[in-house]
Amino acid sequence: MADIPLPPGLSAARLDEARMALETALGPGKVFFEPLDRTSYQDKFAVDDAAHHPAGAVAPDSVEEIRAVVRIANEYRLPLFPIARGKNLGYGGSAPVLAGSMVLDLSRMKRIEFDEKLGTVLLEPGVGFYDLYDYLQRNNLPYWLSTPGNSWGSVMGNALDRGVGYTPYGQHTENICGMEVVLANGEVVRTGMGAFEGAPTWQAYKYGFGPAWDQMFVQSNFGIVTKMGMWLMPEPESLMGMDVEFDRPEDLKVMVDTIAPLRRERLLTQSPSIGNWMRAAAVLTTRDQWTDEPGALSDSVIDAIRRQFNIGWWGVSLRLYGREDVNRAAYKVLEDAMGKAGPMSIRPTQWKRGEPLEYTGWTGTPMTFPMQNVNWYGGRGGHIGFSPIIEQDGDKALAQFRRTYARYQEYGMDYQGSFAFGERHLVNVNAMIFNKDDPAMMAKVDPFFRSLVADAKEQGYGEYRTHLDYMDLVAGTYDFAGGSINRMNEAVKDALDPNGIIAPGKSGIWGSAYRQERQA
């Protein structure tokens, strides 16, 4: 086992003893220590291929098996890194923060329980968006999913990392209702009404009695979530909307200032996302079809791409869901507002129940085609995301874009950016696409990312999620009162997980046993 990365403080002999204990408890078919196994769980989009290598993996298929794994992990001080399906691409995939950790692969746990009357689902970590979609279709259930751009992943895993979709239920974390969690001591807890034995309201009421813990297990390492309740959107009677293109980079200001009030008053209940021309072009084409010039694309090449696909510098898709009469009235307001904003084009769209459905994120259907953007540069493509939270203000959004765009040009990278609306905030999602077979390009990614973090910090903007490489960096930017939030997080961590075995370093939270591993 000399080639196996070891967690701090654990010898190769002791790790081999832990492996044998896991095989005895679960059977050898659920324990993976071969070189190919370790390679399979590495981050496919890693900026540094030498980082975050696991020692191995274990794949239980029940809560009792998870409890057995946790017991062994405590006995041998073997850190575990739980994953649902390992498809959190751009943020670390299936790899652990701490090298030498054992990946706890929960993808075999795929049970689904659905309440048709309430539109709630109780699911396990291995249930992917395609799985849940197929379940709804197979059982003729009149509900729609909200899916992210990469729908290979876990419904639960996406919600636990605050992933978003495109429908009125697109803020996935907000639609969590009740969890089952295995704690580091092996105890099983249920949150909300699940703490009340036999309560039929576990997926109907989020809070229960006393502190509400669901959000404490989001983006944290306080426990292993084994079941999660979610609310789904009833199939609407109609869908109406428009795809709107704007011609100039500076049009971002009027777009934000036009859409934001409609979102706040809930005329728009979806989560629209303003994206630049490359969001479409990088899926439909590759860079070498347009130019071989080094550095960031010139305006002339950008103009040629836009002419080819008849797209604006920015575009946004706006959708209205629900009763047809209500949508028609709301559409008139939307049409008038967007028309006054001076768009390059407006393309209306509509659908009524019973008509064939267009398979897009706007209709809650799983998709994977947006991931084709990683082929933009050729080679082994990948990306990481830089996504600060900013105000819903056109001037602030335009200033944020200009700062970020200047950095893309400085580092010679092609800009793919978007501004996604919550009710009161914008998420400025910037995809840093790269070719892992281009050493010169890969050498720029780390300093590029760090410069973006520093620029945002100066404006008071922090990221809402990030790649494994930068969890300590981003956690450190949350520095009110000298970082009191992280001290509180780590106090909770030490109380619930005194040996620090569950996902050390996740979201910058380190248990006392591994705190020395925190990045400088």
Catalytic annotation, residues: 91, 464-465
Residue 380 in tokens: 């082994």
By CB neighbour count within 10 A (0-12 exposed, 13-18 middle, 19+ buried), where does 62 fall? middle
CA distance 438 to 436: 5
User: How far apart (Å, rounded) are the C-alpha atoms in residues 48 and 181?
Assistant: 32
Question: What is the DSSP secondary structure assignment for residue 482, as one 8-state letter?
Answer: G
Assess contact for 37 and 28: CB atoms under 8 A.
no
C-alpha 352: how far from chain center: 30
Question: C-alpha angle with apex 201: 196 to 206, nearest 5 degrees?
Answer: 85
| CB distance 157 to 128 below 8 Å | no
Closest CA to 279 of 429, 172, 464: 429
DSSP state, residue 392: S
Task: Tell me which residue of 426, 494, 503 sits closest to 219, measured CA to CA.
Answer: 503
- Whole-number CA gyration radius for the chain: 23
Strands (E), 249-343: 273-276, 314-322
How buried is 158 (Cβ within 10 angstroms: 0-12 exposed, 13-18 middle, 19+ buried)?
buried
**65 neighbors 26 (Cβ within 8 angstroms):** yes
Residue-wise over 117-155: b if at least 16 C-beta within 10 A, else e?
eebbbbbbbbbbbbbbbebbeeeebebbbbbbbbbbbbb
Q: Which two tokens stand for residue 496?
A: 């619930």
In terms of Cα–Cα distance, which of 508, 506, 397, 413 is closest to 451? 413
Instruction: Please list, in sequence order, all residues whose beta carbon lies within 8 angstroms of the beta carbon of residue 424, skipping any fewer than 6 positions away.
Output: 264, 392
| Cβ contact 103:56 at 8 Å | yes
Residue 350's identity, in one-letter code, is Q
Per the CB < 8 A criterion, the answer to whether 386 and 445 are in contact is: no
SS3 176: strand
Q: In the beta sheet, which residues pair with residue 115?
A: 120
Taking the alpha carbons of 146, 148, 151, 155 in that order, is the dihedral positive or negative?
Answer: negative
Task: Give the rounded distance of the alpha carbon of 201 from its chain centre.
Answer: 28
Which is nearest to 102 in space by CA: 62, 59, 61, 63?
Answer: 59
> Integer distance in angstroms from the first to the last C-alpha of the chain?
30
